[in-house]
Chains A and B, each alone.
Chain A
Amino acid sequence: GESVGLHLPTLSVQEGDNSIINCAYSNSASDYFIWYKQESGKGPQFIIDIRSNMDKRQGQRVTVLLNKTVKHLSLQIAATQPGDSAVYFCAERTGNQFYFGTGTSLTVIP
């Protein structure tokens, strides 16, 4: 199976600071990556995606960086807000199969 893991299981940041959540993947053939946010009691919510032919993609307050050399994916959240508190996990696609990481729990301290 695929190995999609997160470096840190928990992360606490002060409100207003930037957050960085990391993800390692193992299959160099993976061509598409997604970051999801999952709040307590809810389903995963799509945040941002990136294809393997890109190194960086920006959304509203979020940026995803892809380093194919070291098979590393990161999610940067600017000016973190209390509403950003959730579990974040990455997903990689190999062929037509998605593989999901276990998640990092982000806590925003007011």
Chain B
Amino acid sequence: SAVISQKPSRDICQRGTSLTIQCQVDSQVTMMFWYRQQPGQSLTLIATANQGSEATYESGFVIDKFPISRPNLTFSTLTVSNMSPEDSSIYLCSVALSGGTTDTQYFGPGTRLTVL
């Protein structure tokens, strides 16, 4: 497995501002992912972040709203831009680690965001 940390663990932000969430992994990984988890709901993939290339966004998510950086194989950031109360959610980063022929996803502790 991997040890994944996220900063901040939680934040309360004002409408219209932006928040950058950091994700740090204790080993080099090729694939990192950003998810959103709203209360009582499943995980929704926002984007896949691979080092050295542009992030790949899922339907409904755009780079202007959720810019992502992936400067190296152990770190990534997700910015939630021009926030509104609808962005209140838990944001999770995850990494894919190879276990033989299978890639397993491991998650960070999450960032709990509340937008007022």
Contacts and interface: CB of A to CB of B under 8 A. Distances in A.
Given A46-B104, A49-B104, A100 B43 contact: yes
Interface stretch (B64-72, B78-86, B105-113): B105-113
Interface string A12-35: 000000000000000000001010
A91 B35 CA distance: 14
B92 A102 contact: no
Given A41-B112, A102-B41, A103-B42, A46 B1 contact: yes
Interface of B: 1, 4, 6, 40-43, 45, 92, 99, 102-110, 112
B107 A100 contact: no
Contacts of B45: 97-98
A100 B107 CA distance: 13
A56 interface: no
Contacts of A44: 43, 92, 107
A91 to B, nearest CB: 7
Contacts of B105: 34, 46, 91, 98
A34 B107 CA distance: 13
A51 interface: yes
B13 to A, nearest CB: 18
Contact of B110 (A43, A49, A93, A102): A43
Contacts of A32: 102
A4 B44 CA distance: 13
9 contacts: A32-B102, A42-B110, A43-B92, A43-B109, A46-B104, A49-B99, A98-B105, A100-B43, A102-B40
Contacts of B92: 43-44
